[in-house]
Amino acid sequence: MNQQIENIKKVRVFLLESIKDLTTEQWNTIPEGFNNNIAWNVGHLIAAQQGICYKRGNLAPHITDELWEQFRSGSKPDRFLSADEIAKIKSLFLNTMDELDADYSKQIFGGYTAWTTRYGVEIASIDDALKFLPFHDGLHSGTIGAFKRLV
């Protein structure tokens, strides 16, 4: 496994472990003063990784358009997610990293479109994307940790 992808996956495993005992209600609770919840943050990390790596790489993502729209940047929770939907998110949270690793090994990311993130970081290749993902995951992991204490 690519070391960068493996590191991201290890942190994601740790994050899921830290919230494994939360109920479906807790995953769906939007803390007072906020506009999203744990379920949205975990789903957003999936959508963001797919967008940053695949959509920006001019490749089809490994998630549905519905999931992309539900968790893309600028979206917010619009309904209560069932236990089955949360289980699917948990599965995708790790499986999409395995798919990314397999695709990276196949070197399919040649047509990457350069862009600049809202943080001013220029991403011009899949390798730049893999360097940026831990930062983005870290931001939302911090939010998830705070929400865990609030729900």
Q: What is the pLDDT of residues 13-56, one digit of tens each?
A: 999 999 999 999 999 999 999 999 999 999 999 999 999 999 99
Distances (CA, A) of 42 to 36, 86, 96, 116, 141: 11, 9, 12, 23, 8
Q: How far is CA 65 from each of CA 13, 36, 50, 120, rounded to the nearest angstrom?
A: 25, 20, 11, 27
Mean per-residue pLDDT, 48-76: 97
The CATH number assigned to the domain holding 56 equals: 1.20.120.450
For the chain, the domain total comes to: 1
CA dihedral 96, 63, 19, 97 (to 10 degrees): 10
pTM: predicted TM-score of the whole model, two decimal places: 0.96
DSSP element (H, E) containing 115 = strand 115-116
Are 82 and 24 in contact, with CB atoms under 8 Å apart? yes
Domain that residue 129 falls in? 3-150
